[in-house]
Structure 1
Amino acid sequence: MYGCQQELINNPEFIPFLEYLCTTANKLINYGIYLARQWYFKLGYITGKYDLGKQLKSNFNYQFLHSQAAQETLRLVTESFQSYKELSHQHLAGHLSNKPRLPKYRKKGGLEVITYPKQALRLKENQVRVPLGKKVKAVFKVDIFLLHFSNNFDWKKIREIRIIPRNNCFYVQWVYQL
């Protein structure tokens, strides 16, 4: 069982590259949806867990994000297509009255959630080191950013963090095991 705590990221230095990261994640999702739809229409194939990551490794948007964050982003696309496949089977069997639809593209210029598994994070003196992609370092001259880690958590129980754009602000969600 998992719990989640959300905190506002109120450091104005982080806002420009967090916006760019979330926009890049949105673009990567659209690339993933495009590729998955093409596979479905031309080959009748629903993507496997690692297929999109292998195909999009050379994509600029994939390279801009930290590799594990990019993989988590593409995993969301794969899960949505797997869900579509299961719902289609249930519809054909007569268990669902409404026909499911293929996942649609996200709004151009939108912001998307970025997820970092704990494996990518490091804790040092109540600061969590969040890595950024190599392209971020080239553009922003920053390769990490630090988040304050609350004392009300046990670091060993943290499973992942999510950077969430909402209401012109950014939040961090700490997902932990209960």
Structure 2
Amino acid sequence: MYRTIPIKATFSDEEKAFWVFQCQQANSLINCAIYYTKQKHYKWLKEQPEAYSTYWRGDELRFGWKTYKCATKYPELDKYLKLSPHYKAMAAQSAQQTLKSVGEAITSYNQLVGQYYKGQVDRPRLLRYRKKGGLAAITFPRQALTYKKGLFYPSISKESKPELITEITLEPPQFIDPDWVKEVTVRPTLGQLWIDWVIDDGNQSVDHNPNLDYSQAWSFDHGGDNWLTGVSTQGKSLIIDGRKLKSMNQGYARLVAKYKAGKPEFYWDSNLDRVQVKRNNQMRDAINKAARFIINRCLQERIGNIVIGWNERQKDSINIGRRGNQNFVVIPTKRLINRLEQLCS
């Protein structure tokens, strides 16, 4: 079973400069791929006589560029951008992984186009450019990593290697067997660099556990002060307190308002980065602890099913007042459900 283990990176100044440079090249390469994709797509649209015209969407008559699927694929991007300086500055396999991410985004866009004409989703937009000079994640598959003396040595391009003044290595966590590592990603997050270790430890999900009774279930309803309220078919109950979670979110909102007072709407700085990182860590910790508590309780009571109520679009369409929305919408219940799904298997 594949798992991802995120670890906050601790690089020296020289190593950090190298990784920031690589992330910048990945960001620029993505923008180059998006530029090529859009130029080719718009050129094709201009050749279509009916691409810009009036058309019906449901009961509405509209006019403008029709929404068509994009024909660009990853192999074409890789062939066209192979001589790009951003491509050459990265290891070949890392550059390929970066372009594959663009190819996957185009595939997702094409799927949304089909759903759009069926009236299932709003009109999709073609890929947007990333911020100029920004950072993007850089990925190394296992073939691009060499393991020696407890360290992984990532591949480095011929253009970048002469500029190095230190050896570039990645040290895996002690609890990870080197043979488990399938992929490593270095990604920027809120002014920090993190390393995602993708591993396969050989463990498989259990389809049937003989120690559990699959005729029994534990049902949960989520809310505010009581994050989760559960009752089992055995007549037992439990409540996960949500007041601490609300308090942390309120503290986060107050700090954000303090630092953004008198600033433009999209103002952001290192202080806000620090506040956001703290809040994300608190939410992740609360999710992990609540999920583990529920799973352990189910194993203890030999209950084989978990049921949680969920209303579609309840986060972005609910209207329970300004204060009620603020207290309810920011609680990461969906992430808790996803975490429970991972642990249940």
Same fold, TM-score > 0.5, yes or no: yes
Indicate how the Cα distance of structure 1 residues 173 and 64 shifts in structure 2: closer, same or farther if over 3 A, else same: same
Q: CA deviation at 1:134?
A: 1.4
1:68 partner letter: Q
- Structure 1 CA distance, aligned partners of 2:18 and 2:178? 26
Indicate how the Cα distance of structure 1 residues 128 and 28 shifts in structure 2: closer, same or farther if over 3 A, else same: same
Q: CA deviation at 1:83?
A: 0.8
Local SS of the residue matching 2:74: coil
- Structure 2 CA distance, aligned partners of 1:42 and 1:159? 40
Contact 2:24 2:135 in 1 (8 A): yes
Q: CA deviation at 1:141?
A: 5.2
Q: TM-score, normalised by structure 1?
A: 0.92
Q: Where do 5+ consecutive residues of structure 1 fail to align?
A: none
Contact 1:46 1:82 in 2 (8 A): no
Partner residue, 2:24: 23
Q: CA deviation at 1:105?
A: 0.2
Q: 1:156 aligns with which of 176, 179, 197?
A: 179
Partner residue, 1:73: 98
Partner residue, 1:42: 43
- Structure 1 CA distance, aligned partners of 2:160 and 2:96? 17
Partner deviation per Cα, 1:71-125 (whole Å, 9 max, x = no partner)? 00011111111111110011112222x1111010000111000011011101111
Partner residue, 2:135: 111
Contact 2:109 2:125 in 1 (8 A): yes
Partner deviation per Cα, 1:33-80 (whole Å, 9 max, x = no partner)? 001112222236522231111110000000000000000001111111
Partner deviation per Cα, 1:111-151 (whole Å, 9 max, x = no partner)? 00001101110111110011111111133356x61111233
Rg (Cα) greater in structure: 2
Q: Percent identity?
A: 32
- Structure 2 CA distance, aligned partners of 1:141 and 1:4? 31
Local SS of the residue matching 2:161: helix
- Structure 1 CA distance, aligned partners of 2:106 and 2:172? 35
Q: TM-score, normalised by structure 2?
A: 0.49
- Structure 2 CA distance, aligned partners of 1:166 and 1:136? 24
Moved more, 153-162 or 113-122: 153-162
Contact 1:126 1:148 in 2 (8 A): yes
Q: Which has the higher contact order (CA 8 A, sep 6+)?
A: 1
Partner residue, 2:7: 7
Q: Where do 5+ consecutive residues of structure 2 fail to align?
A: 46-69, 202-345
2:84 partner letter: N
- Structure 1 CA distance, aligned partners of 2:172 and 2:24? 25
